[in-house]
Structure 1
Amino acid sequence: MGRILPTLWNDRVTITGVKEVKHGDFSDTEDVTIVENHPAKVVLGGQKPSEQSFFGTDQYDAKLLIDNGVFIPAGADIYVTDVNGNKNKYKRASKGYQGYVSHQEVAMIRDEKAKDVT
């Protein structure tokens, strides 16, 4: 089942994080791309307008379904391109829960200022 599920996922993700590097005696962090253009599926969580505290934001909870072969650290930035070509950035991601045989789930939040123009 782990080989079949990714063929059903039409979203493509690029996941970036940071890694620690040493420069002589000093430690620093560098941005690193974990995966690029990788198949996945975003499942939306709550989008209740009654719970929004400020109407100038586009905020909701979502889950990312992705294969177990990808290590996703907590705090990674996740960029999703859906089947229609729409691009979204998710942040405040959890570490991937790899308790399933077929896939892992990553809880994430889309939290951006609204930028759609009518």
Structure 2
Amino acid sequence: MTVDPFKAASSTLSRLYRDRVTIYGAKPVIRNGATEIKDALIVSNLACKLSLNNQQSSDDGQFGTDAYDVKLFLENGVSVPAGAILDVTDVNGNTTRYKRSSAGYTAYASHQEVTMIRDEKAMVKL
């Protein structure tokens, strides 16, 4: 009996994931004869890992931006469509919503990667 090294790597990787993600995708719903697009839950509270690629400073003089590129690492068993909404809670309990995402890149045997962009005006917490 042989052990698949990629399966073993996948199990090990998922134990290192300390962040959690909830993923929503668009789903057409017919209501009163009209089709509406609603956010449908794909997966909730799944272990994942965030990796920040680059952070940008403010471009305009009036408002700062909260814009950066992020990669999300998670198991291959979840189908992540392009344009999904992802709510990621980091290890410190801070939740961030990402609205612009790629489809999951599942070519790796041990995990998949989703690239996301957070691009919002910076807000002051009162």
Length-normalised TM-score, structure 1: 0.87
Cα displacement string for residues 10-35 of structure 1 (whole angstroms, at most 9, x for unaligned residues):
00011111112345754332211111
Question: Is this contact kept in 1: 2:68–2:119, CA < 8 A?
Answer: yes
Question: Is this contact kept in 1: 2:25–2:42, CA < 8 A?
Answer: yes
2:59 to 37, 53, 65: 53
- Displacement of 1:99: 0.7
1:69 aligns with 2:77: yes
Relative distance call for 1:58 and 1:48 in structure 2 (3 A) is closer
Counterpart amino acid of residue 46 in structure 2:
H
Counterpart amino acid of residue 53 in structure 1:
D
- Displacement of 1:89: 1.1
Please, which moves more after superposition, 26-35 or 12-21?
26-35
Larger Rg: 2
1:37 to 14, 27, 45: 45
Q: How well do the aligned residues superpose, as a CA RMSD in angstroms? A: 1.9
Cα displacement string for residues 32-71 of structure 1 (whole angstroms, at most 9, x for unaligned residues):
111111100010011143xx41352111000010110010
1:21 aligns with 2:29: yes
Q: Which runs of 5+ in 2 are unaligned?
A: 1-8
Length-normalised TM-score, structure 2: 0.82
Counterpart amino acid of residue 41 in structure 2:
T
Question: Is this contact kept in 1: 2:14–2:48, CA < 8 A?
Answer: yes
Identity of aligned residues (%): 50
**Secondary structure, aligned partner of 1:2:** helix
1:78 to 71, 78, 86: 86
